[in-house]
Amino acid sequence: MRFLASQPVHLRVYRVDAAGHVTCVFSTYGRDNRGSPARTFSMMVKAGEPQPGQEGMVAIGSARPLTRDELLACLRAYLAEGPADSAASTGPAVAPAAVPKGGAAADAPPLADVLQTVIDAVGRTTDTPDAPAAPLDRSAWSIAVGRFVSAERKLSAVSGQRSVKEASDRSEDLVQAR
């Protein structure tokens, strides 16, 4: 994932895995309010941990570090604005659906449900600064929400045999080179 901003921002990124667990996977600040803003952020997230299925990401960019109450207020305000597919929200927080054994993805939960799951988790955290520096207006923060599906990786017998043969051929080449 890559995040770009027109001016330096602080960023927090939360992941909702297929089991419905929320993890803060990245943050430029913590309870001690230390951290540096930036214009560009790049990160990789390993999909399918702890299990394959529908997963969600919520990124909150802000002009300064946010307190827990401000973070919650921003998330709730964004939810009230209505993410693109939130019209079909099912109400209370719903964990993203797991991929069935056959590998076909179930219907994705509405983005509003992913947001609500993050709101519930943020409400229980204590890793944000305590005191705000100044009032925060709407132009000082932005939220991006996304989803992806992770599936079990299947290797066919043919590709497994091919990769074993290729590895064997490479080993022979190395032995001959010595």
Per-residue confidence (pLDDT) for residue 154, from 0 to 100 = 67
Q: Using alpha carbons, list the distances in angstroms from residue 31 to 4, 38, 119, 128.
A: 24, 19, 18, 4
**Rg of the Cα atoms in the chain:** 21
Q: pLDDT value at position 108?
A: 59
Per-residue confidence (pLDDT) for residue 94, from 0 to 100: 41
What pLDDT sits at residue 59?
Answer: 92
Provide the whole-model pTM.
0.68
Distances (CA, A) of 14 to 17, 57, 131, 171: 10, 6, 22, 43
Spell out the domain ranges in the chain.
2-177
Q: Which residues of 59-71 are buried (b: 16+ CB within 10 A; e: fewer)?
A: bbbbbbbbbbebb
pLDDT along the chain (178 residues), means of 10: 86 90 89 80 78 88 88 90 54 42 53 89 81 74 85 62 46 38
